[in-house]
Structure 1
Amino acid sequence: MAPLLLLLLLPLLLLLHHLYYRLRFRLPPGPRPLPVVGNLYDIKPVRFRCFADWADTYGPIISVWFGTTLNVVVCNTELAKEVLKEKDQQLADRHRSRSAAKFSRDGQDLIWADYGPHYVKVRKVCTLELFTPKRLEALRPIREDEVSAMVESIYNDCTSPGKSLLVKKYLGAVAFNNITRLAFGKRFVDSEGIMDKQGQEFKAIVSNGLKLGASLAMAEHIPWLRWMFPLDEDAFAKHGARRDNLTREIMEEHTLAREKGGGAQQHFFDALLTLKDKYDLSEDTIIGLLWDMITAGMDTTAISVEWAMAELIKNPRVQQKAQEELDRVIGYERVITELDFSNLPYLQCVAKEALRLHPPTPLMLPHRANSNVKVGGYDIPKGSNVHVNVWAVARDPAVWKNPSEFRPERFLEEDVDMKGHDFRLLPFGAGRRVCPGAQLGINLVTSMIAHLLHHFNWAPPNGISTDDIDMGENPGLVTYMRTPLEAVPTPRLPATLYKRIAVDM
C-alpha cells in the first residue's frame, strides 16, 4: 500500500519541488517542465541545436529540467565569459552521473573530479609535466609517423581514378594509433593493419564502456526511479577490473623496459610512473588520467578533421587557396612537418574555422554550482548544472559576421585565440577546466588537414554535388557526421612522398 501511495503522490511532490525553486529563486526562463520528467521529452536528439533554438525563443540563458535536476544553458559569448571566467570558481565542480562516478572511481581522475586539492594536483601534473612544449615536441615524430601512415594507406587505396573512399576509416586509424602510442607507448596495429591481442582488448574495453555509460537512461535524471533501474554493480565491476588488468599489464611491461634500458620515455604512461612519488599519485589516479586522455582524444580529432574535409570539399575555393599556400611554402619535393605551421597562416585559419563551426564537443561537460551564484542576472542554485553551448557561442551573430559561412579569412582579419583566452571560440573550453591537451589537439588536427590537402585533391563522389553532402550531426556527446563523408582523393605529389617511414618510440 505504501509504495502505491508514494507513486500516486510523486507527481504532486515533484510539482511542489519545481514550485519551490520558482518561488525561492529567480531562475532563467525556459520551456515549461512536466512533473517527474521535466523537459526530457521536449529535448530533440541533437541537443545543442535544440538548446540554440530555445535560446532564440527564451533568451541566451535558459533553464532546462532533466527530470528533477535544473540545468542552465548559456548560448552567447558574454554569458560564456561570465560562467568560465568571472564566476568560474563557483561553477568549477563537475556533475557525475552514476556511470561517470564508477568509471572515475568517484572523481579520482581529472575530467570528473570536483574542483579542490585533488583536481589542482592532477591539473598541475598535466600542465607542468605531461603537456609541456618540450614533451609535445619530443612526441612529434609519433604524430607525424601516424599521419604519414594515413597518407600511405589512402594512396594505396586510390587504385583507380574516381574511386571514392570513406574518409572516417582513415582518420579513425590515425586517432586510434596516435592516442595509444602517446598514452601507452604502444602501437596495437602492425604494418599490415593487423591488431594484436592487447589492441583488441583495448577496443573492446572502450566499446563496452560506451555501452555501459548509455545503459542508465531516464533513471539518471529522476532519483525516485533509481530503485526501478538499479546500477548493474557487477557489470561495472567487471568492466573496471578488465580495464585495470590491461593497464597494469602494460604498466609491468614499462617497468621492465625501464629497468633494462634505463631512462624514461616521453610518452604519458611512462611519465606518470616516474612522477608517481613526486606528486603522490595513486594507481587509481594514474589509470584514470590515462583513460581520460583516451576518452578525450580518441574520437575528437578524427571528428574535427572529417568536418574540416567536408567543408573543404563543399568550398573548393578554400581548398585551392590552402593548397596554393602549401605548394608555395612546402613545394613538391618534401612533405610537411609541424615545424612548418608557423609559415602556413592560411592553413592554421582553415583548422580554426573548422573547429569554430564544428566543435567536437558542442556542449561542454556540465559544470556544477558549488554555491548559489548569479549568471546573467539570474539565480543558479547550488547543485545545479551549467552547460556552455560552444556551438551556439561560435555562431553568435552579435560577434561573428556571417556566422554560418565557412570563411577561414576571418582569422586573417582578426586573430582569435582558441585555447580558452577568447570567449568567442571555445572548442577546448576555458577557465579552470580548460582542456590541458589543447595544443596537442590543435597540432594533430592541423597536421592531418595539411597532409590530406598537400598530398591529394579532394572532390565529391561521381554523381554527387557539393550541395548533396550531408552536414547534419548525429545525436551524442560528440558530433559525428550524420552521414559519414565519402570523397574522391587524387594524388598530387611524386609517388616517393607517399611512403611511410616508420618511427619506433
Structure 2
Amino acid sequence: MAITFIAIILFIFSILYAIKFSQYYHNGTPSIRRLPPGPKPWPLIGCLPAMLSNKNLPTYQWIHEVMKQFNTEIACIRLGSNTHIIPVASPELSLEFLNTHDSVFGSRSISMTAEIVSNGYLSTVLSPMGEQWKKMRKILVSQVLNLPTLHQMVGQRTDEADILLRYIFGLTRNGEAINIRSIVRHYCGTVIRRMIFSRRYYGKGREDGGPSLEEEDHNQALLSILRHVNAFSISEFIPLLKKFDLDGHEKIVKRALKVIRNNDEPIIEERVQDWRDGKKKKAEDILDILISLKNENGKSLLSIEEIKAQVTDLQLASIDNPSNAVEWALAELLNQPKIIQKAVEELDKVIGRDRLVQECDIPNLMYLTACIRESFRLHPFSPFNVPHVSNSDVFVAGYFIPRGSQVLLSRLGLGRNPRIWEDPMRFDPERHLKDGTIKFGISEPSLRFITFTRGRRGCIGTSLGTNITMMLFARLLQGFSWSLPPETPEINYYSRTDELSLPKPLHLHAVPRLSHVMYY
C-alpha cells in the first residue's frame, strides 16, 4: 500500500514537472523561453545525480567543469525539482544582473543553514528581501558603518595594528617561523571585536597580544560557518529530505554557532542590562549603538535577538576575505622577490621608517593596493558570492531566468577569465596600474573580479573592509623583512583541489626592519 502511494505521488510530480518543463523545451529543442546552456535535468531530481557522481570534486569545481563543457560564461543547472542555479563568469553579464536588473535579483535563498546563522533571518547579509532586511540595512548604513562611526573608532583599529607589530616583534626573538595565517586571522578578529565589544579577548587573554584558545576557536567557528552556509546540500533541493541533514551541514553550522554564541551572548546580555539599569548612557562601540537605537515611540528599535544576529553577521563579514587576501599576497610576493622589493620601496618612499603607516596613508600606497587587488582577483576565499535570488521571471542577455533562480557570480570564473585577463594564473600587480583601475582602491565596480560586489546587496562595509585589509598588509611589510624557512624552498600553491586557501598555513621568518623603539 505504501509503495503504491509513493508511486502515485511520484507519477503526479512527474506530470507536473513535464508540464512546467515544457515552458522551456518543446520537442527536445529550446522554446522561446530559452534557459542558459547546461545539462539536461532529470524529472524531480534535476542534475543532482551528476553532482553526486562527482564526489571526487568539490561542487564548485563540478559547476565550473559544466561551464567549461558547454563553453559558456553563464549556465543553468537545475537541482531538485525547481531550483535553477545560474553561475556567471562574465563581468558584462554580472553587471546586467546586479545593475540593470538589480531590483529583480535583490533577494536571498532560503536554506536551513542561512536561517540558523541569521537567527531566523533577523540580520542583513543572509535575509531575503523584505521589511526586516530594509530595517537592518538602514541601521548599518546610517548608524554603524557610516564614516562618522568609523572615524570615531579609528583609534581602536590603530591600536590593534600597533599590538600586531609588537606581538610579531616578540616572536622574532626566538628565531622560529611565524604562522602568518594565525596572525592575520587574529588581527581581523580582534579589530572587529574591539569595534563591537571594546575588548579583544573573551577570557584572560595573553600579555604578548597573541591569540588565546577562545579567540582561535571563535575564528575557526566563523570560518566554518562561511564554508557551509548556503553550501550545496542535497537536503535543500529535495523537499522530502529537508528534515534529514544528509550532508551534515546543519550539524556543522549549529556546532560552530554554539561556539560563537557561548562567547558573544554573555557580553551582549550584560551590556543590554547595563543600559536598562542606567549604568551605560553613552554609545562607545557598535554594540552600544545597536542597543541604544530607539523607535518613534522611544522604545528599543532592536530586540536582543536581532542584536545577537547582527553582531554575528558583522563578524562573519570581517574575517575571511581580508585574512585570506593578505596571506596569499605574502605568499605570492615571496615567490617573486622583485614585487616585494617594489612594495617595500613604496612604503619607505611614502611613509618612511620614522613613523608607522596609518589609515590615512592608504590612498597613497598604490603599489600595495595593486598587490591586494591581484590577491583578491586570483585567490578568492570562496568560489561564489552569496546567491542573488530572482523575485520574478526576467530575461537577461536573451536567456530566460525563472523566478526563484539563484544567481551565483563566480569569483573564480570572473577573476581568472582568460577573455578578460591576460595570463590569468600569473600574479601580476602591474596589470591594475596599467589599466587605471587602481583609482578604485581594492573595489572593482566593473566586476572583473569580486571584492565588495555592487547594487542593493553590495557590501555596505567597503571602507572598513579596505582599511582592515590594507592596514594589515602595510604594517606587515613595513615592520618586517619576510623570508621562507630554509626547509621550505618554495610554496606549493596548488597541491589541493578542495580548498581555495593555501594548502597549509604560511610560515615565514621575520626580521625587524625598523628601529626597535617603533615596536613599542
Code of the residue aligned with 1:116 in structure 2: it is: G
Q: Which residue of 2 aligns with 1:61?
A: 74
Q: Partner of 1:432: helix, strand, or coil?
A: coil
Asked if the contact 2:167/2:208 (under 8 Å) is kept, the reply is no
How far is the alpha carbon of 1:132 from its aligned partner?
1.4
- Aligned counterparts of 1:361 and 1:485: Cα–Cα separation in 2: 19
- Of residues 486, 493, 503 in structure 2, which corresponds to 1:482? 503
Q: Which residue of 2 aligns with 1:425?
A: 449
- Aligned counterparts of 1:322 and 1:347: Cα–Cα separation in 2: 6
Distance 1:32 1:42, change over 3 A: farther
- Of residues 493, 498, 504 in structure 2, which corresponds to 1:470? 493
User: More displaced, 79-88 or 104-113?
Assistant: 104-113
- Aligned counterparts of 1:130 and 1:495: Cα–Cα separation in 2: 37
Distance 1:155 1:377, change over 3 A: same
Distance 1:379 1:143, change over 3 A: same
Q: Partner of 2:425: helix, strand, or coil?
A: coil
Alignment of 1:230-379 (within 5 A): 243=261, 246-247=264-265, 249-253=267-271, 256=274, 259-260=278-279, 262-265=281-284, 267-277=285-295, 280-379=301-400
How far is the alpha carbon of 1:449 from its aligned partner?
0.9
Q: Partner of 1:332: helix, strand, or coil?
A: coil
- Of residues 166, 187, 212 in structure 2, which corresponds to 1:174? 187
- Aligned counterparts of 2:213 and 2:519: Cα–Cα separation in 1: 29
Q: Partner of 2:158: helix, strand, or coil?
A: helix
- Aligned counterparts of 1:493 and 1:197: Cα–Cα separation in 2: 30
Q: Which residue of 1 aligns with 2:167?
A: 153
Distance 1:152 1:473, change over 3 A: farther
Q: Partner of 1:71: helix, strand, or coil?
A: strand
- Of residues 387, 411, 415 in structure 2, which corresponds to 1:390? 411
How far is the alpha carbon of 1:398 from its aligned partner?
2.8
How far is the alpha carbon of 1:8 from its aligned partner?
9.1
- Of residues 467, 472, 496 in structure 1, which corresponds to 2:517? 496
Distance 1:483 1:423, change over 3 A: same
Q: Which residue of 2 aligns with 1:95?
A: 109
Distance 1:444 1:63, change over 3 A: same
User: More displaced, 254-263 or 201-210?
Assistant: 201-210
How far is the alpha carbon of 1:403 from its aligned partner?
2.5
How far is the alpha carbon of 1:20 from its aligned partner?
3.5
- Aligned counterparts of 2:460 and 2:495: Cα–Cα separation in 1: 29
Alignment of 1:116-265 (within 5 A): 116-159=130-173, 163-188=176-201, 189-192=205-208, 206=222, 217-226=233-242, 228-229=244-245, 243=261, 246-247=264-265, 249-253=267-271, 256=274, 259-260=278-279, 262-265=281-284
* 5+ long unaligned stretches in structure 1: 500-505
Q: Partner of 1:80: helix, strand, or coil?
A: helix
TM-score under structure 1 normalisation? Answer: 0.86
- Aligned counterparts of 1:171 and 1:245: Cα–Cα separation in 2: 20
User: More displaced, 183-192 or 81-90?
Assistant: 183-192
CA RMSD of aligned residues (A): 3.5
Q: Which residue of 1 aligns with 2:36?
A: 28
How far is the alpha carbon of 1:362 from its aligned partner?
3.1
Distance 1:130 1:224, change over 3 A: same
Distance 1:254 1:224, change over 3 A: closer
Asked if the contact 1:420/1:434 (under 8 Å) is kept, the reply is no
- Aligned counterparts of 2:346 and 2:254: Cα–Cα separation in 1: 51
- Aligned counterparts of 1:344 and 1:34: Cα–Cα separation in 2: 53
Q: Partner of 1:114: helix, strand, or coil?
A: coil
Distance 1:27 1:263, change over 3 A: same
Code of the residue aligned with 1:393 in structure 2: it is: L
User: More displaced, 389-398 or 70-79?
Assistant: 389-398
Code of the residue aligned with 2:282 in structure 1: it is: G
- What per-residue deviation string (whole Å, max 9, x for no partner) do you get for residues 429-477 of structure 1? 21110011122111111111111111122222214333x432466646x
Code of the residue aligned with 2:374 in structure 1: it is: E
Asked if the contact 1:205/1:243 (under 8 Å) is kept, the reply is no
Q: Which residue of 2 aligns with 1:77?
A: 91
Is 1:409 the counterpart of 2:430? The answer is yes
Give the structure, 1 or 2, with the largest relative contact order (CA under 8 Å, sep 6 or more).
1
- Aligned counterparts of 1:316 and 1:241: Cα–Cα separation in 2: 41
How far is the alpha carbon of 1:3 from its aligned partner?
4.7
User: More displaced, 119-128 or 220-229?
Assistant: 220-229
Code of the residue aligned with 2:103 in structure 1: it is: Q
The percentage of counterpart residues that share the same residue type is 27
Q: Which residue of 1 aligns with 2:481?
A: 457
Asked if the contact 2:179/2:507 (under 8 Å) is kept, the reply is yes
Q: Partner of 1:296: helix, strand, or coil?
A: helix
TM-score under structure 2 normalisation? Answer: 0.83
- What per-residue deviation string (whole Å, max 9, x for no partner) do you get for residues 146-193 of structure 1? 2332222222222355x4222111112112212211222222134355
User: More displaced, 29-38 or 423-432?
Assistant: 29-38
